[in-house]
Structure 1
Amino acid sequence: MKPLDSQNFNRQLEKRVKKVITDYDLIDEGDKVAVALSGGKDSILTLHIFDKFQRESDFDFELMAIAIDEGTRSYREEGIKSARNNAQKLGVDYYEVSLKKELGFTLDQAAKFYQTACVPCGVFRRYLLNRTAHNLGVDKLATGHNLDDEIQSFLMSFARADVRRFGKFGPKQERIHPKMVPRIKPLWLIPEKEVGMWAVLNEVEVHLAECPYAHQSLRSRLKSYLNNLEENRSGTKLKILEFFQKNLRINKKEVKLYECQICGEPSSVSICKACEMREFIKNQLY
């Protein structure tokens, strides 16, 4: 088998990412864009490809990175190290936020009180990413969600009949509150397998270890199932995404957001989920 040409592979991948950015207007001229940098392959690819687009003046924007240290022992340290090293290597401004310092406990401590650690992890990561990005004056928060991630999220919401979440899918979210930084997903059409190939072909430092809590999640089981389907029927994942695009066009009704009475962050109720969970966890711990 002929070895892959890394330069050609990179060009084709960058071309598809650039098409998503252009087709969905992910970046406006002069935007301040922050990459949610975990240290894993997806967010590291997002950082590298955005850095290249910026240097080559494909798009006019300011770039920075934000990393959240959730405090998962024997796992998070390596991801943070990868995030720091890549940001430093590229000369990208890097901001690191600790769950322990900001909220008073680690994810390991919080996980004890939930059926799956993914619940507090998702709530607190989104909370700290948005708050940090807003405080830094960020216009867009870029995440490393790839094609596989999006399909898994679609099917998880579909299985739960959580129709409200369909409006949150897609490569771009609009600003629905002055303090809510819009999310963009430049890797929206890039399969996870190709992200891994990029990291290997380009010998980029990434954190490849799986989260120790991943086995608890529905997402993990769906991931295995979809990978088996794709192996037997190539193109299945893309067809699922196309199905959702064509047949589940949920009208994105205007969501009324308030400000949390405790922290002041955007919330659909008087007390945001992060503050509600934080108080519960602290009461259990202390």
Structure 2
Amino acid sequence: MVAQEEFNKNIENNVKETIETYGLLAHNEKVAVALSGGKDSILTLHMLNKFKEEYNLDLVAITIDEGISGYRNEGVEAARKNAEEIGVKLIEKSFLDEFNFKLDDIFSFYKSACIPCGVFRRYLLNKTAYEVGACKIATGHNLDDEIQSFLMTFARADFRRFSKFGPKLNTIHEKLIPRIKPLWNVPEKDVGTWAVLNDIDVHFAECPYSHMSARSKIKGFLNKIESERKGTKANILRSFDQTFQFEKKPATLYECKKCGEPSSMDVCKACEMLEEIGGYLGD
């Protein structure tokens, strides 16, 4: 029990230090938690609930059902259970209700299912958070997620995306809700340990489409290096933080001519893909 309490306190202190160091929270804010039902998003919800009184936060959770047969239902149930136990309102959205298709219907149109999934999930999260008046969206990105994204961006030479990294993304458009990452400095294995030690109801299963992504390969590569040289992941994160903290240049955003959502182009990626998918489906 003492070991469990000490571990929990270390996690809490880690998150608190990130919040204070990078100014993730301010008093009297409404914060929307992107709650998938997985271990990372549920730990984020529990941690923000711990600081709810200190910052006088108004918490709300948003769950997106992408439409993945045999997988997503368990995550949604875990999200519902945790939100109910903590007393946080849960807003549920789905690809089917919003776009009239499931991810299972359209994933084959793309090299990886993660491409349309990411675009439409971010679109719905931002749109919903804006509609409920949230000041920020808290995501469950952990240390491992962040360095995987860094390396993927390097591999693609997509330097525009560097402005999207870091524990806090500031307002660059009035309709684009800023993102915060309270678990930015928490290793993925610690998140899993927290869920098991505290018997938290989380959805541990990996997405059946994850094997299609470059991220899964980079994740395996990093885990191998970490097993041989402990501390490598933390060193990579510190290196990126120092290298790019002065190089971030936020993109100029406009409003999509079709849907009115924030976009770096005349037509946002979601609307562009909806038109493509309509052609594939014969709509």
2:33 aligned with 1:6: no
Q: C-alpha root-mean-square deviation of aligned residues, in Å? A: 1.1
* 8 Å Cα contact 1:71/1:99 also seen in 2: yes
Counterpart of 1:35 (choices 33, 40, 56) is 33
Aligned residue number for residue 203 of structure 2: 207
How many residue pairs match? The answer is: 282
TM-score by length of 2: 0.97
* 8 Å Cα contact 1:37/1:66 also seen in 2: yes
The 2-side partners of 1:242 and 1:280 are apart by: 40
TM-score by length of 1: 0.96
Deviation at 1:104, TM superposition (A): 1.1
* 8 Å Cα contact 2:169/2:180 also seen in 1: yes
The 2-side partners of 1:236 and 1:11 are apart by: 24
Deviation at 1:250, TM superposition (A): 5.2
Q: Structure 1 residues 283 and 87 mapped into 2: Cα distance closer, same or farther (>3 Å)?
A: same
2:271 aligned with 1:275: yes
* 8 Å Cα contact 2:255/2:263 also seen in 1: yes
Letter of the 2:43 counterpart: L
Aligned residue number for residue 65 of structure 1: 61
Q: After superposition, what is the alpha-carbon deviation per residue over 1:157-186, rounded to whole angstroms, capped at 9, x for unaligned?
A: 011111111111000000110100000000
The 1-side partners of 2:204 and 2:211 are apart by: 15
Q: After superposition, what is the alpha-carbon deviation per residue over 1:94-148, rounded to whole angstroms, capped at 9, x for unaligned?
A: 1000111101111111201001100000100100000000000000100000000
Deviation at 1:253, TM superposition (A): 2.6
2:255 aligned with 1:259: yes
Paired-residue identity, %:
57
1:81-230 equivalences under 5 Å are 81-230=77-226
Q: After superposition, what is the alpha-carbon deviation per residue over 1:184-213, rounded to whole angstroms, capped at 9, x for unaligned?
A: 000000000000000000000000001000
Q: Structure 1 residues 82 and 179 mapped into 2: Cα distance closer, same or farther (>3 Å)?
A: same
Deviation at 1:270, TM superposition (A): 1.0
Q: 2:92 is paired with a residue of what secondary structure?
A: strand
Q: 1:68 is paired with a residue of what secondary structure?
A: strand
* 8 Å Cα contact 2:66/2:94 also seen in 1: yes
Deviation at 1:255, TM superposition (A): 2.6
The 2-side partners of 1:252 and 1:223 are apart by: 25
Deviation at 1:251, TM superposition (A): 2.6
* 8 Å Cα contact 2:160/2:251 also seen in 1: no
Deviation at 1:59, TM superposition (A): 2.1
The 2-side partners of 1:267 and 1:186 are apart by: 25
* 8 Å Cα contact 1:111/1:120 also seen in 2: yes
Letter of the 1:28 counterpart: A
Letter of the 1:278 counterpart: L
